[in-house]
């Protein structure tokens, strides 16, 4: 027994006495910055050490056959290093690379503004849209504070980079929305139809957008609805202009929501001075239902439907002689429903499919009567294949059928026009990384315009390249087609799609809560609809134009404690010859300079968020038919300063927001040119009336109560 015991002791001692070796060295982040408290350890053992304040370390170890040293540090990529055997001491120096987290990764950025809760590398969060002063819950108004847009307050729609409002298409969960704006008459601003609370993500592209979207010359606004809501909740809203109630019920794997709202501007317009002579101010009723179901295979089914009925009557300038007014009545019914299906089939394939239908009818009654209706059905399917090397391939197809019907009647004429349109498209797009520094997205889109009997293929390309820590350059290029507006198609279908080519160069730099972004663009229009013969019945695709400019954006969330602001500036140089333009000219919706400053401040002690939005638009041209030159008149400079305040509190134990806002606080004189009659009077002159906002100021007070768990609101 004895000898064996001594042998064991000897074995143990031998291991212990065997000369210990020393690993020493330094861990750096970047070139000279020491990594303090980095973790170093020998793989498979518990032996290790941490670096000191100079990034230095000493690690005694027992040399074995093959040892691997692991270096780990928060925010940096983990390193492993093979230690050569048979050396007593080693000096090692490690330079760590930052973790390829979303924030530092190179991303496709040209033309795109994204707001998302899920992704980190975005410039905005959905809450930023809701809290922008002057927007009053209107997504479109908030987006109009971003660069590349125009502050055309008399219109309300989105005008992107010298493009007409119809050149922006809106998509919800990939499906096109035919009537994204509320119905109105010219010179009265419209609103977006959809509540910002419906969406978890917004991607607003001002050019060079993905091949997944089409039939839009200038811009794609892509909205993503929320998945399963977090909890059951009932929401009540009481506003100076109406009220609403909605409820969301959440079960384990499904949720159902339903709501109704009522708007009536009557009491408000009687209290606050108006520029408009209302007979029956705007009233609207809305109803929404939504359904979410998580299926056993992990797929998510989403369905929603909205209905909106609105109308008003007011005294409105007569088309022939705008200095005289007569009663105008407008009634609009709008229905939209969609269902989408999202499934990760396996680790490499994803499927997204959707169906939507919509119907919109509008009746305008003055000395004439217009009955207009739009019906739409569409289907879309997209399959995505993910590859191991971070590349993805998207394949998709969609079909949109729409029908247009219009009946115009006055004392002299009775015109009926109708047409059916089929738009079919397919696209393939690949996106991924070429090494660590370059991201690429390349796609091809094929489109069939059945009514126009035209086929088009458009390439889309977007490239981003990392330039130092936090900086990146990006490029985008693409061809974009769009069917002529229904306003012209109802006269003649002997037309072809309009075309725009986009060229974008972008630089973006972000560091710790600050982002600066500059984008240069050039857009070339061709085949625009034009009426050289003076009448839309003889329209042809001979129009052309260009838009070029510079967009600047600066966002800062850190310089002012509890404050957050962004500044957008857009310079635009554009001319086009289209529609009834006798010569190439800057259109009346295009201002050379646009500036927006959005500031938000959170006052912790008062639980209040304050917001200020300042908007400036340089003079825009408009045409006076009494002068020989086209578009030679200029509107005054447009300025607006809006304020809002949200006070977060409790009402009978329920989360409550009291929201108040006012537009044009400083009382800037706002005017948008003149509206001229379409016939000269007895003296051969065209009479006119000034275009002004509906009221010098807009006040809004609302109380929103959320009954349920947490601080969410029901849709």
* Residues at the site binding other proteins, with contacts judged by CB under 8 A: 3-4, 7-8, 11-12, 37, 39, 41, 43-48, 50, 70, 72, 74-75, 101, 117, 125, 127, 230-231, 512-513, 602, 607, 609, 648-650, 655-656, 709-712
Phi and psi torsions of 16, nearest 5°: -70, -35
Distance CA 318, CA 287 (A): 34
CB of 139 to other proteins, least distance (A): 18
CB 140 within 8 A of CB 156: yes
Distance CA 371, CA 394 (A): 41
Strand partners for 255: 250, 292
Q: In what order do the strands lie in the sheet with 67-72?
A: 48-50, 39-42, 67-72, 79-83
CB of 7 to other proteins, least distance (A): 6
CB of 477 to other proteins, least distance (A): 34
Whichever of 70 and 351 has its CB closer to other proteins, that residue is 70
CB of 204 to other proteins, least distance (A): 18
CA distances from 703 to 244, 287, 500 (A): 11, 20, 45
Whichever of 45 and 626 has its CB closer to other proteins, that residue is 45
CB of 57 to other proteins, least distance (A): 11
Q: How far apart are the two ends of the chain, measured CA to CA in Å?
A: 82
Whichever of 34 and 619 has its CB closer to other proteins, that residue is 34
Distance CA 180, CA 201 (A): 17
CB of 261 to other proteins, least distance (A): 21
Cα angle for residues 602, 604, 609 (degrees, 5° grid): 30
Helix-strand-coil split of the chain, %, nearest 5: 5, 55, 40
Whichever of 198 and 616 has its CB closer to other proteins, that residue is 198
CB of 84 to other proteins, least distance (A): 21
Whichever of 101 and 678 has its CB closer to other proteins, that residue is 101
Contacts of 348 (CB under 8 A, 6+ apart): 385, 386, 387
Token pair for residue 648? 């977060």
Whichever of 230 and 501 has its CB closer to other proteins, that residue is 230
Half-sphere exposure of residue 85: CA atoms within 13 angstroms, side-chain side:
5
Distance CA 332, CA 325 (A): 22
CB of 399 to other proteins, least distance (A): 35
Whichever of 157 and 510 has its CB closer to other proteins, that residue is 510
Phi and psi torsions of 481, nearest 5°: -115, 155
CB of 561 to other proteins, least distance (A): 9
Strand partners for 278: 314
Half-sphere exposure of residue 13: CA atoms within 13 angstroms, side-chain side:
6
Whichever of 410 and 650 has its CB closer to other proteins, that residue is 650
Whichever of 40 and 590 has its CB closer to other proteins, that residue is 40
From the centroid of its chain, how far is CA 673?
30
Half-sphere exposure of residue 554: CA atoms within 13 angstroms, side-chain side:
8
Strand partners for 291: 256, 303
CB of 612 to other proteins, least distance (A): 17
Distance CA 425, CA 380 (A): 9
Token pair for residue 669? 């004189």
Distance CA 260, CA 283 (A): 14
Half-sphere exposure of residue 117: CA atoms within 13 angstroms, side-chain side:
12
CB of 70 to other proteins, least distance (A): 7
Whichever of 47 and 524 has its CB closer to other proteins, that residue is 47
Whichever of 125 and 675 has its CB closer to other proteins, that residue is 125
Distance CA 205, CA 216 (A): 11
Please give the torsion angle defined by the CA atoms of residues 102, 105, 108 and 114, in that order, rounded to the nearest 10 degrees.
30
Distance CA 176, CA 611 (A): 32
CB of 386 to other proteins, least distance (A): 21
Distance CA 508, CA 281 (A): 46
Distance CA 404, CA 642 (A): 39
Whichever of 2 and 31 has its CB closer to other proteins, that residue is 2
Whichever of 8 and 22 has its CB closer to other proteins, that residue is 8
Whichever of 400 and 705 has its CB closer to other proteins, that residue is 705
């Amino acid at each position: 027994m004895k000898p064996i015991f001594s042998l064991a002791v000897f074995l143990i001692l031998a291991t212990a006495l065997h000369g210990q070796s020393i690993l020493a060295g330094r861990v750096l982040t970047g070139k000279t910055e020491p990594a303090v408290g980095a973790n170093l350890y020998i793989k498979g053992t518990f032996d290790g050490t941490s670096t000191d304040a100079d990034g230095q370390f000493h690690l005694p170890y027992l040399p074995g056959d093959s040892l691997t040293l692991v270096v780990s540090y928060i925010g940096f990529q983990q390193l492993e290093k093979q230690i050569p055997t048979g050396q007593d001491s080693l000096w090692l120096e490690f330079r760590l690379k930052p973790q390829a987290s979303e924030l530092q990764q190179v991303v496709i950025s040209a033309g795109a503004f994204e707001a998302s809760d899920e992704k980190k590398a975005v410039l905005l969060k959905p809450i930023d849209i809701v809290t922008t002063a002057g927007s009053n819950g209107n997504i479109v108004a908030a987006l109009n504070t971003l660069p590349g847009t125009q502050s055309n307050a008399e219109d309300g729609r989105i005008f992107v980079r010298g493009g007409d409002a119809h050149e922006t298409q809106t998509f919800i969960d990939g499906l096109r929305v035919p009537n994204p704006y509320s119905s109105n008459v010219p010179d009265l601003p419209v609103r977006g139809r959809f509540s910002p609370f419906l969406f978890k993500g917004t991607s607003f592209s001002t050019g060079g957008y993905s091949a997944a979207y089409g039939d839009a010359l200038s811009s794609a606004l892509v909205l993503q609805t929320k998945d399963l809501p977090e909890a059951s909740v009932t929401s009540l809203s009481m506003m100076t202009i109406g009220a609403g109630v909605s409820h969301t019920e959440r079960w384990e794997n499904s949720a159902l929501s339903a709501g109704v709202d009522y708007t009536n501007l009557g009491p408000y317009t009687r209290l606050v001075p108006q520029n408009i002579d209302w007979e029956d101010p705007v009233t609207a009723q809305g109803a929404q239902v939504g359904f979410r179901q998580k299926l056993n295979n992990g797929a998510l089914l989403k369905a929603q439907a909205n209905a909106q009925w609105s109308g008003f009557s007011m005294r409105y300038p007569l088309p022939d002689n705008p200095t005289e007014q007569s009663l105008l009545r407008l009634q609009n019914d709008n229905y939209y429903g969609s269902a989408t299906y999202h499934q990760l089939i396996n680790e490499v394939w994803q499927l997204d499919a959707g169906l939507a239908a919509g119907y919109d009818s509008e009746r305008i009654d003055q000395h004439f009567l217009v009955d207009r209706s739009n019906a739409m059905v569409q289907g879309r399917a997209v399959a995505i294949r993910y590859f191991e090397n971070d590349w993805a391939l998207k394949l998709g197809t969609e079909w949109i059928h729409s029908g247009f019907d219009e009946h115009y009647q006055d004392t002299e004429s009775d015109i009926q026009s109708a047409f059916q349109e089929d738009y079919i498209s397919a696209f393939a797009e690949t996106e991924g990384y070429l090494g660590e520094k370059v991201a690429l997205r390349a796609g091809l889109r094929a489109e069939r315009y059945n009514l126009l009997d035209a086929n088009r293929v458009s390439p889309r390309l977007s490239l981003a390249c990392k330039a130092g820590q936090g900086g990146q350059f990006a490029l985008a290029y693409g061809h974009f087609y769009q069917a002529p507006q229904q306003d012209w198609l109802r006269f003649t279908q002997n037309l072809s799609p309009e075309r725009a080519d986009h060229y974008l160069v972008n630089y973006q730099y972000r560091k710790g809560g600050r982002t600066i972004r500059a984008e240069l663009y050039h857009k070339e229009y061709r085949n625009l609809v034009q009426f050289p013969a003076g009448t839309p019945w003889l329209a042809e695709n001979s129009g052309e134009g260009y838009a070029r400019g510079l967009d600047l954006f600066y966002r800062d969330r850190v310089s002012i404690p509890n404050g957050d602001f962004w500044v957008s500036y857009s310079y635009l140089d554009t001319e086009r010859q289209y529609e009834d333009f006798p010569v190439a000219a800057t259109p009346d919706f295009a201002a050379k300079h646009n500036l927006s400053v959005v500031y938000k401040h959170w006052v912790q002690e008062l639980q209040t968020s304050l917001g200020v939005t300042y908007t400036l638009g340089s003079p825009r041209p408009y045409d006076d038919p009494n002068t020989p030159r086209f578009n030679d008149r200029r509107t005054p400079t447009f300025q607006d300063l809006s304020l809002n305040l949200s006070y977060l509190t409790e009402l009978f134990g329920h989360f409550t927001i009291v929201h108040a806002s006012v537009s044009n606080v400083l009382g800037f004189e706002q005017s948008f040119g003149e509206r001229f009659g379409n016939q000269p009077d007895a003296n051969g002159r065209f009479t006119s009336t000034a275009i002004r906002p509906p009221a010098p100021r807009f006040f809004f007070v609302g109380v929103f109560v959320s009954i349920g768990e947490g601080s969410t609101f029901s849709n």
